[in-house]
Structure 1
Amino acid sequence: MTATAAALFGNFVVGCGVLVVPGMLDLLALDLAISIPQAGSLLSLAALTMCLGAPVLAATTSRVDRRLLLVLSLLLLAVGHVACALASDFTTLLWLRPLAVLGAAVFTPQVAATLALMVPPEQRSTAVTSAFVGWSLASVMGMPIGNLLADLFSWRVSFAAVALMGCVSAWTVWRVIPAGLQVAPLSLQSWSEVLGSARLRWILLATLLWCMGNFAVMGYITSALREVLGASPGMQAILMTLLGVSGLVGNIILSRQVSRIGADRGARVALSYVLTGLVLWVLALSVVHALWAVAMAVLVWGLGNFAFTSSQQARLAQSAPGLASASIALNSSSLYAGQAMGAALGAYLVVALGFESLGPSGVIILGAALWCSVVADRISTPRPDQPAN
């Protein structure tokens, strides 16, 4: 197994850990006798934890051997999900969920920065986007399988499955990633250089808005399908699988084409697919009222979904390789901040206006994300040995 494959599998496990709750949100709420918006607070709290944890942990662990750091982050993910599986009530689960996702705040950004150290400059974009295919696989398998396990057995079994995979991934990383890899220690100057770059700021803002608009809908997708269209758990799993398969295909296409078309264009195209998919989602729920229309929407939506995130990481690594550890950590922080904001917005909209209001809000926010991405494209990229503009 190569380092890229180990990173891909690790991202798959981390993605399953993050996405398992949205995939079984309605079943978890039913079992714990709480409302959907209450259950949605699990999403917001977890995302807020990852948002704050990614840059803080990147700074405090910058002197730690990369292999050791990645292994410990996966073991923390495993321990946290075991604890969630054993939670006796919703309040306990609410306190434990941040622990379960803290490892995710470390692994995804730092494994991307680690790969950037291990491959030649001309291979960085391909390596980073290939590793992020793991998140696409998580959406293919993690969300629907988590939903089915929760439906057939219990949501506790879904958490336990993530914990088991975390242990396997930790062992794989220990076997494959070489010891002794170090990134440049992150100082205040590193963060200042990232935030002082106009190009990097616009890229990070695009990530935040993409995730906010995306998660306002995706965080409540199973509940919306059930409440609006009466979809059974089995049909929900099928549609989530379609979304994930589409995301996997889109990410694989991007990883093979990014060196030819460039990460900037890849991000723009991917985001256009997500925006189009959400427009189709709105039509499916509010006009057509049919599951076949939802299937068409998630097919288009998925093609750009994870491809956009991986292209964002590639843009950051290309723009300023020496700042990749800091910039990718901030990108993860932006992503998780967007999740928290999207989950909170979604919970409010469900109560105030109903599930049909989620899609239009997502479309507006995704349009703003696309505009930010285009602005970033127009700012020149410095040479690899220079700071970002």
Structure 2
Amino acid sequence: MSASPSSPPALASAQNALRFGNFAIGCGVMVVGGSLNDLVGSLQVSVALGGQLISVGAVFMCIGAPLLAALLSGRDRRWLLQMTLAWYATGHLLCALAPDYATLLPLRALTMLGAAVFTPQAAAAIGWMAPPEQRGRAITSVFLGWSLASVLGMPLHSYIGEAFGWRWAFGLVALLAGLGALWVGRALPEGVKPPALSLSRWAEVLTHPVLMAIVLVTALAGAGQFTLFSYVAPYYRQVLGAGALEISLLFMAFGAWGLAGNLLLSRRIDRIGPARAVRLFLAGIAVGQLLWPLGQSVMLMLIVMVPWAFGTFATNSAQQARLGAAAPALAPALLALNTSAIYLGQAIGAASGGVIVDLQGFGALHGVSLGWTLLAIALSIWAERRLRRDPDHV
């Protein structure tokens, strides 16, 4: 990826706008999970069926990220990212007005194509604008928007869903995405066009065993987290007996620890290296999933969730930086595939979690989540060792 460094003020302005854009994207991705209790009651569907809104949206994001990255690679990123957020805003507004589940499902799927485009292309754009020595920090700083969505958006969705209804939570996402579109249009300069990749370069990425293994780590980690995370709102209510404010508090605490982990990563990643960071944060997630059954009250859950929450967003951010550093010339494709892997993991996790809830209830969710995460750790270590032995092969 041939860099075209921008001036520090221009770079900072672009980072702020793209961070807010990712905040809006993250709020949209999380809005179903946060407002699931009211959504399933309002539309008169089961918890498992309501959770499939996450799976279907994730499948569309998974497939859409690489395909749309290839189709739209020649577009100016200011135009592309602004139009993507406008699509996202319109889609969430239509979802909020959907009369029934059958209408909501396809609207949700099409809306989430915006997320498939925005996150990887925002990372590629800021990486192209930043000097090489600041690229890792620039990419992870933009991804902080997702952490902020967990801190502010997820608990707000939960509270709005419980107090006013899920439609208002979707409406909030529409407003945020609209504001993000305006901000990105003002902050990003014209002419931000990371080089388009030829079909041969895409083939190089897709057939590279180590790079694809790193991408698969993201999918496995996502499956581990969303097997459980997709259903924590009904879990908190039905198992812990938590009310609306307590559920919002639990989401806010989870997001606050996630933000803390991402902030720490952003400051240290260029020093400790992204591969090592992925390994450490995945280990924290595994510990949290192992301890999950001990959270038998709201107070205990606030403690038990800490190691998982601390690593949740930092892992994804470190994976973005890891792929960008492993093969800078292939970064647009790799970041699109990594985003695809995030959503593939969400789809697998939400779908497998729904089956488990239907068959066995909530009790077995954490064990399956832990199994996915341990596979991610093992594969990450393998890829790290391969790159260490042959760094010039990438």
Aligned residues of 1:4 and 1:131 also touching (Cα < 8 A)? yes
Structure 1 counterpart of 2:353, one-letter code: G
Aligned length: 383
Aligned residues of 1:24 and 1:147 also touching (Cα < 8 A)? yes
Show the counterpart of 1:196. Answer: 207
Cα deviation digits, residues 52-103 of structure 1 (max 9, x gap): 0000100000011111111111001000001001101111111110122111
Structure 1 counterpart of 2:344, one-letter code: A
> Quick one: which of 298, 303, 308 aligns to 1:296?
303
Aligned residues of 1:77 and 1:163 also touching (Cα < 8 A)? yes
Gaps of 5+ in 2: 1-11
Show the counterpart of 1:53. Answer: 64
Show the counterpart of 2:384. Answer: 377
Trace 1:15-54 onto structure 2 (pairs within 5 A): 15-54=26-65
Show the counterpart of 1:308. Answer: 315
Return closer, same or farther for 1:257/1:48 CA change in 2, 3 Å cut-off.
same
**C-alpha deviation, 1:381, in angstroms:** 6.3
Show the counterpart of 1:344. Answer: 351
> Quick one: which of 169, 177, 197 aligns to 1:158?
169
TM-score (norm 2): 0.95
Structure 1 counterpart of 2:128, one-letter code: L
- Other structure's SS at 1:132 match: helix
Give the whole-Å Cα distance in 2 for the aligned partners of 1:74 and 1:379: 38
Gaps of 5+ in 1: none
Show the counterpart of 1:100. Answer: 111
Aligned residues of 1:239 and 1:298 also touching (Cα < 8 A)? no
> Quick one: which of 364, 367, 372 aligns to 1:357?
364
Which range moved further: 180-189 or 163-172? 180-189
TM-score (norm 1): 0.96
> Quick one: which of 257, 263, 282 aligns to 1:271?
282
Return closer, same or farther for 1:333/1:235 CA change in 2, 3 Å cut-off.
same
Trace 1:1-389 onto structure 2 (pairs within 5 A): 2-284=13-295, 289-380=296-387, 389=394
- Other structure's SS at 1:378 match: helix
Return closer, same or farther for 1:167/1:383 CA change in 2, 3 Å cut-off.
farther
**C-alpha deviation, 1:380, in angstroms:** 2.1
Give the whole-Å Cα distance in 2 for the aligned partners of 1:336 and 1:297: 26
Aligned residues of 1:273 and 1:304 also touching (Cα < 8 A)? yes
Structure 2 counterpart of 1:273, one-letter code: G
Give the whole-Å Cα distance in 2 for the aligned partners of 1:255 and 1:51: 26
Give the whole-Å Cα distance in 1 for the aligned partners of 2:377 and 2:53: 28
Structure 1 counterpart of 2:302, one-letter code: A
Cα deviation digits, residues 251-294 of structure 1 (max 9, x gap): 0000000011011111111111111111111332xxxx222221
Percent sequence identity over aligned pairs: 44
Cα deviation digits, residues 124-155 of structure 1 (max 9, x gap): 10001111111000011111101111122121
**C-alpha deviation, 1:383, in angstroms:** 11
CA RMSD of aligned residues (A): 1.5
Give the whole-Å Cα distance in 1 for the aligned partners of 2:180 and 2:329: 27
Which range moved further: 161-170 or 243-252? 161-170
**C-alpha deviation, 1:382, in angstroms:** 10
Give the whole-Å Cα distance in 2 for the aligned partners of 1:376 and 1:59: 26
Structure 2 counterpart of 1:355, one-letter code: F
Aligned residues of 1:199 and 1:376 also touching (Cα < 8 A)? yes
**C-alpha deviation, 1:173, in angstroms:** 0.8
